[in-house]
Structure 1
């Protein structure tokens, strides 16, 4: 797409790759280029770095900071502070483990930033897999077990562990991203992902502990893969922006070469010296005896290669890491050029989402032919058997079974689309209720699979199992999985049927070309009120569940 005149946001724009992407975007003259970073200092330094080039290109720069994985009110305080506050931690967990993300968009840092700037293009250079995996669920689990063994396990420890489980965080992040992008009108989202191992296999010699490979590194790789699949699903979601992912599979270097104090996690490494040799037992006694060394009062200094978020590497470390046959490396500028090429619509062969699309085995012509044969054979078997083979509550959700049984009763009561539309809501509700009263086999089949029947007078027919127990809101419960014989539900069904009739009138017949997806057989099924056809229409149209790609 043409980014000239559009707002472009680079999440993680202060990092090694994000800054390179921002620099590569400037000649394309976006209306505004927004960079986000973790801290205000990071953002200010990045903006200063780009200022001269941005001014020359006539591109206004904006900066935002804060942790995009946290609620907006905690964006500066950070994750540790949030988890240390019992009330805030409880709210965070309530949101993390709730069913939907829509209500959280306005409170999330990501949602606030996207709605504030409404970018047409978002480039996400944050290493999401690292952010989640390095919370170290393994250490937390070990501590949880130790506390349980001592009988000292409390709510605080359990909540802290729940707050760092990887998959709930990743799932909620992608849900928030999708909803935030929808509301902001974002048209394109490009993720710069990771393989987790710099493209190396399970034999990777670079690790975070004595394990090889470390569990944290494998967790990072697993999350990176899960993230790609979630983005693949996001790309197939109606209303989502176009989604791409560029996944570097080598070490990413470098930002600069330099010499001076060696910083680790932003702090100077103290220069120390040993005072005296000590026996092994003394040297590693608990607590560690501080008298064995002395702090020389100055930082460790040396020559280094600044690898951005990955820290500072000594010359031999860089030489080892990038040696042929080990991790090797790719420059941030090459990644940035690939990302911008994808934004502009030039295929690079490096879009992971497109690769998954191409590699996936989708619906086939043969399956379509056999579907018609299977439906015909099933219809003949059902007519011969006589049992109401409507739904068995194994496909799910319970709402599907509810819709299928209601549609079957509707078909038996009215017979056709036009006949059903002649009813009033009250008349249709009464006719459908009569079917359940008079047709014991239909009623028993519904009750046996866990569907209660809510009668017009508010009384309930139920069996031993109930798929959707009452939750205090009768209308919501009934919509989720109860057969509802109240007139209001059948007024809703009549609205659906009118929409289907309008669809059948509007869609051109096959004789006028191949524009319509509705062939003669599907038209006939809708007109005949076939339960499967009606439920499919509801899932596609009313629930917005139609697949975006085949």
Structure 2
């Protein structure tokens, strides 16, 4: 269908993909573009970006903001405010679980926005939904709320009727499936009222395209219940969209594109590192302040670590909604056999082409098995540009961008820092193998005793440093993992022996690839030296972590 002269509504217009979609749309000259985002500042930011890029456009750009999953009067409230107030919880429960009627429709922010009863007064001809619906629903954490209620019920003395009611109501409004069903019901009714002709959803697999063996979590069990809930919502949403496409009085064009890789990137820079406006504060733990492992694990963290009075500054890549990653975190998640990545511009281009009628082969409504957007040649080509720029910024600022502990799990950060410490001391894998585990342990400990910044960079992100004796640790105010395997930088000789085994396996892998007479594309050649056809035993930290995830953790991405 033609976009020119139409009213286009983009949900999630500030996001990584949403903003890219808005930019692509401008070239198609819609009559008006409604940029909807969660917060006013976000919607206006995209508006300003588009006005700067397209100063002579005839398209009217209209910002809109608020939570599209609640009624209009609640759209600007934080979920915590709704969860915390009895009257607001009652409204949300009614809106979600009662039969859908006209009153519910007319109170819905989503319905009013699509039908043009607010924000410009124009019903949407085309709706492009770039909101990560599955994450928004699943990360209300039904498991924690169920646990809270269950424990309350076990304690009859503490579980007052008021407390029991509050926890029950909170559990009700955390139910994913009823919220998703109501969301699609309202969309369908809104499309009919507005006469919407096309609906395009940018979905998700929930795991960046990986399977149940995905090594990236937020420290939960593996596979993570939260992550699988997100994937379940993504799948349920896709099937509801599939049904919408089979509904005669719905939009004539209903499609979903589903990226199955990490999406990157927004910018590469050096500066304070954090998420959601919360920067990482730097802490140190002096060697003489080391505490026993048992005491450290049972302590609350209050008073642990000495504030350095500054924030963590480093080289990072901003991947939009997914957060900021270090150079080596980005390496690990994008290496062959892990999530890899796709650019938002590629996704946006497919969205526009699908609306215009091109057969991209990426619409899962038409072909669920054949339509997923995996890692791309462009992203793989540009990966070197990302890494090169981050290396340049490292050199310029005299820092090493190893790990920030946003990618998860803490085990990844542990592996990255342990590999970095070995690289710092030995330079090459073979040099490390030529030393004894005991010497490796002591040499790294000697370096950490005198290097305050390095020490602080580790403990400030929630990774304690287990000393060579295995009895004491250096720690900051927070510990992300309760054991050495899960997220402690482990300096014990036993762990150095494990690293010897790893390094030998990696060297053997490289040598086997290089010695093979098969020069075809049959071999993956996942390690850089194997790809470059050279005997190179230097540490490549992010690639080492990726190799461990594949060969030790069983985290290989099977399909690309």
What's the TM-score, normalizing by structure 1? 0.63
Q: Offset at 1:148? A: 1.1
C-alpha contact 2:210 2:339 (8 A) present in aligned 1: yes
Is 1:114 the counterpart of 2:114 in the alignment? yes
Is 1:202 the counterpart of 2:215 in the alignment? no
1:284 counterpart residue number: 297
* 1:104/1:297 CA distance change after superposition, 3 Å: farther
* 1:5/1:197 CA distance change after superposition, 3 Å: same
CA distance in 2 between partners of 1:354 and 1:89 (Å): 39
Greater mean alpha carbon deviation, residues 13-22 or residues 86-95: 86-95
Q: Offset at 1:184? A: 1.8
Structure 1: gaps (5+ residues): 360-550
CA distance in 2 between partners of 1:264 and 1:174 (Å): 31
C-alpha contact 1:34 1:64 (8 A) present in aligned 2: yes
Q: Offset at 1:280? A: 3.0
Q: What are the within-5 Å matches in structure 2 for residues 63-142 of structure 1?
A: 63-100=63-100, 102-116=102-116, 117-142=122-147
CA distance in 1 between partners of 2:187 and 2:330 (Å): 35
Is 1:298 the counterpart of 2:305 in the alignment? no
1:271 counterpart residue number: 282
**CA deviation string 1:58-99 (max 9, x = no partner):** 322110111111111111112211121101111210121112
* 1:358/1:254 CA distance change after superposition, 3 Å: closer
* 1:212/1:5 CA distance change after superposition, 3 Å: same
CA distance in 1 between partners of 2:98 and 2:333 (Å): 42
2:227 counterpart residue number: 217
Q: What are the within-5 Å matches in structure 2 for residues 145-544 of structure 1?
A: 145-151=150-156, 152=159, 154-241=164-251, 242-274=253-285, 276-285=289-298, 288-356=300-368
C-alpha contact 1:54 1:60 (8 A) present in aligned 2: no
* 1:333/1:279 CA distance change after superposition, 3 Å: same
1:392 counterpart residue number: none
Q: Offset at 1:40? A: 1.1
Q: Offset at 1:52? A: 2.1
Structure 2: gaps (5+ residues): 117-121, 372-560
C-alpha contact 2:10 2:36 (8 A) present in aligned 1: yes
Q: Secondary structure at the match of 1:28?
A: coil
Count matched residues: 358
C-alpha contact 1:71 1:107 (8 A) present in aligned 2: yes
* 1:142/1:342 CA distance change after superposition, 3 Å: same
CA distance in 1 between partners of 2:131 and 2:214 (Å): 23
Greater mean alpha carbon deviation, residues 215-224 or residues 78-87: 78-87
Q: Offset at 1:358? A: 10
Q: Secondary structure at the match of 1:95?
A: helix
Q: Secondary structure at the match of 1:57?
A: coil
CA distance in 1 between partners of 2:193 and 2:311 (Å): 48
CA distance in 2 between partners of 1:295 and 1:103 (Å): 54
What's the TM-score, normalizing by structure 2? 0.62
Q: Offset at 1:357? A: 11
Instruction: Specify which structure has the bigger relative contact order, considering alpha-carbon pairs within 8 angstroms and separated by 6 or more residues.
Output: 2
CA distance in 1 between partners of 2:369 and 2:319 (Å): 33
CA distance in 1 between partners of 2:272 and 2:164 (Å): 43
Indicate the structure (1 or 2) with the bigger Cα radius of gyration: 1
